[in-house]
Amino acid sequence: MFGVEGASSETTEPSRLILASASPRRRELLGGLGIPFEVVVAGVTEHEAEDADPRLMVAHNAALKADWVAARHPEAFVLGADTTVFLDSTVLNKPASLLEARRMLRRLAGRTHTVFTGVALRHVHRGVRIDEGVTSEVTFQAFDDATIDRYFQVVNPLDKAGAYGIQEGRELIIDRWNGSFTNIMGLPMEVTKQILTQVGLLADSKPPAASK
Ligand SMILES: Cc1cn([C@H]2C[C@H](O)[C@@H](COP(=O)(O)OP(=O)(O)OP(=O)(O)O)O2)c(=O)[nH]c1=O
């Protein structure tokens, strides 16, 4: 986890939550919490450079998406996130073509890389600005081009950072991972739950302390 800063204040305004993301994976993961939310996609251009610091890049992009939507919905909580893959000092974002996707998978094969996700929660009227970051490590099997062909038949790599999705077809390419699985999918739920609990959108799930 990296970079925590937050504040919240009580008002009588009813709480509304917006997910600032077009990602179906983030929608599905947040939906699993059982709290109502809407989706508004931010009209921003993300900063994506191969030589960027991945920690700063995902934090910047998550904040960019959340801030854009929060400025237009100042009465709502807005959650933004950004995910990237990092190997050998290089950021691997979404591939622009199947050829680039193939090159990314060849590069990741047989190696361990890091997945970074930045999460930002905003509420303009309540002065809430919370920024969090999570990393996980993923080790790929050593596979050949025939495996990449099979993988592309089950997974669309083009909308995914690093050209893969841990949630589908992982038996073909992934050996093991360390850390949050949902971080690798695009929204680390452990930290997301913690943030939403902090601002009162989610009930504290910790069992009450035993009384003597
Ligand atoms: C590494 C990895 C990434 N991904 C996805 C998560 C993200 O959707 C995507 C990274 O791109 P992002 O820019 O983080 O997200 P997005 O463009 O899909 O959605 P938005 O910006 O509107 O929030 O890669 C997986 O689904 N599985 C994986 O294993």
The model's pLDDT over 109-141, given as tens digits with 9 standing for 90+, comes to 999 999 999 999 999 999 999 999 999 999 999
- The rounded distance, in Å, linking the Cα atoms of 88 and 64 is 26
| Domain assignment of residue 86, yes or no | yes
Question: What does the pLDDT read at residue 15?
Answer: 87
| Domain assignment of residue 37, yes or no | yes
Ligand 1 pocket mutation pick from 39, 78, 158, 159 by most atoms within 8 angstroms of CB? 159
Task: Look up the ipTM and state it.
Answer: 0.88
Q: Which of 51, 82, 159, 204 is catalytic?
A: 82
Q: Which residues line ligand 1 (CB under 6 A)?
A: 21-23, 25-26, 41, 46, 65, 81-83, 85, 94, 115, 159-162, 164-167, 184-186
79 three-state secondary structure: strand
Confidence of residue 163 (pLDDT cuts 50, 70, 90): very high
CATH number for the domain harbouring residue 117:
3.90.950.10
Is it the case that residue 10 has pLDDT exceeding 60?
Answer: no
What's the domain count of the chain? Answer: 1
Q: Is residue 149 classed exposed, middle or buried when 0-12, 13-18 and 19+ CB atoms within 10 A define those classes?
A: exposed
Asked if 66 and 80 touch (Cβ cutoff 8 Å), the reply is yes
Domain that holds residue 115: 17-198
Q: In angstroms, what is the span from residue 33 Cα to ligand 1's centroid? A: 19
